[in-house]
Amino acid sequence: MSDPREIEKMTTVDRCPVAFPLRQPGQSFPPPQYLEFREQEGLVSTTLPSGELVWLVTRHEDVRAALTDPRISSNPSHPGFPRAAKTGGVPSQDEVPGWFVALDPPEHGRFRKTLIPEFTVRKVREMRPAIQQIVDERIDAMLAAGDTADLIADFALSVPSLVISSLLGVPNADRDFFETRTRVLVTLTSTDEQRQAASKALLRYLNRLISVKQKRPGDDLISQLLADGTLSKQELSGVSMLLLIAGHETTANNIGLGVVTLLSNPQWIGDERAVEELLRYYSVADLVAFRVAVEDVEIGGQLIRAGEGIIPLVAAANHDGTVFERPDEFDPSRSARSHVAFGYGVHQCLGQNLVRVEMDIAYRTLFERIPTLELAVPVTELPIKYDGVLYGLHSLPVRW
């Protein structure tokens, strides 16, 4: 939206757009300016790397309103849909059929209904032994390799990656392939060419995998969905791609950051409430829910015109002091349940129950089996992802 007429349309509030990316090197987390944004009347706007202006929603109440308003769409084929990176962003159904997080009701419902039975609280509880085994094996490998590790590569990333790939039936041997492609897609500075190549490669790979499973079904979700037949083969590739991507990077970032916090708050290790509070506190998917208004709509006292982009910032909502007392403190004794780290409304994270179990098992087992675990670098030197769609650490050097 670099067209000046478009910009004029947005200046319903006489205020300059704030700088993007919202996370800047050297800052604390969440970005301190979120407090300011929440306290301002109306909404603030920012200019994305694509040149587009978008409205930023930061109050808890407004984020929930934006994520449930039927006049606000998740579908990138609507004009004005914001793009996170220079040109790329949320794929349309033409690019990735079955990428249902980018569909609105009622089309979205068919996908959601097909998948939700696989991610219920009970179904995920049944996966506990398998997840425990994956976690134990990762720790065995770390212990066998010496007395230092990069806890991101060796644990925080490998655990959710192995969990989602074994659930889907994606061979472990291909981890490096899909993790590398995913990283391109979740990096704000990736070029258009890199992004398209990564997306195409993943889709091609999953298409092939699905053809193999058509001939030789396995005991996995992809085979089961194929047999079920509700989704076309093409849609199934996109659905699998969404699950694979959403299933590992987000959780990896949250597990890694949580280890750092628990190392300095050991009294909370093993307490279930710590997981919920870590989800709220870090809100790694702050820049994930992108939307566009398809009709004029008012959010937080701000008139948003049809065709204007909106980003509900879940980290800002989760640090709203009117909902969470002393929001910038890590305090698992609070009731964190009303956080929106998994979004809100019909697109509310499908994998959230899986995430809770993965984080719970990961922390319990890690600190129980390696009680002398400590950071190998000062906490201020940990490399934070400032260029990521997701908040997290590039690496986490530890020793024991």
Partner 1 sequence: MRISVDTDRCVGAGQCVLSAPDVFDQDDMGIVLVLAEPADEPAREAARRGGATR
Which lies closer to partner 1 via its Cβ, residue 275 or residue 362? 275
From the centroid of its chain, how far is CA 307? 25
Which lies closer to ligand HEM via its Cβ, residue 83 or residue 347? 347
Can residue 385 be called a binding residue for ligand HEM (CB under 6 A)? Answer: no
Footprint on residues 106-145 left by ligand HEM (CB under 6 A):
112
Q: Contacting ligand HEM (CB under 6 A), which of 185, 317, 349, 370?
A: 349
Greatest Cα pair distance, the chain, in angstroms, is 62
Which lies closer to partner 1 via its Cβ, residue 89 or residue 345? 345
Piece in contact with ligand HEM (CB under 6 A), picked from 37-45, 79-87, 144-152, 350-358: 350-358
Question: First and final CA of the chain: distance in angstroms?
Answer: 51
Which lies closer to ligand HEM via its Cβ, residue 48 or residue 314? 314
Piece in contact with partner 1 (CB under 8 A), picked from 185-193, 228-236, 283-291, 347-355: 347-355
Q: Contacting ligand HEM (CB under 6 A), which of 254, 261, 302, 353?
A: 254
Phi/psi of residue 364, each to 5°?
Answer: -55, -50
Which lies closer to partner 1 via its Cβ, residue 120 or residue 322? 120
Residue 91 structure tokens? 């794929």
Can residue 119 be called a binding residue for partner 1 (CB under 8 A)? Answer: yes
Site string for partner 1, 351-380 (x = CB under 8 A): -xx--x------------------------
Nearest-approach distance from CB 371 to ligand HEM, in angstroms: 25
**In contact, 270 and 359? CB cutoff 8 Å:** no
Footprint on residues 276-335 left by partner 1 (CB under 8 A):
335
**Whole-angstrom Cα distance, residue 79 to residue 188?**
21
Nearest-approach distance from CB 213 to partner 1, in angstroms: 24
Footprint on residues 284-313 left by ligand HEM (CB under 6 A):
284-285, 288-289
Which lies closer to partner 1 via its Cβ, residue 112 or residue 233? 112
Pairing of strands 397-399, 302-304: unpaired
Nearest-approach distance from CB 115 to partner 1, in angstroms: 9
Nearest-approach distance from CB 116 to ligand HEM, in angstroms: 8
**Whole-angstrom Cα distance, residue 124 to residue 354?**
6
Q: Contacting partner 1 (CB under 8 A), which of 15, 24, 113, 368?
A: 113
Which lies closer to ligand HEM via its Cβ, residue 152 or residue 284? 284
Can residue 342 be called a binding residue for partner 1 (CB under 8 A)? Answer: yes
**Whole-angstrom Cα distance, residue 47 to residue 42?**
17
Can residue 202 be called a binding residue for ligand HEM (CB under 6 A)? Answer: no
Q: Which residues bind ligand HEM (CB under 6 A)?
A: 74, 100-101, 112, 164, 242-243, 246-247, 250-251, 254, 284-285, 288-289, 314, 341-343, 347, 349-351, 354-355
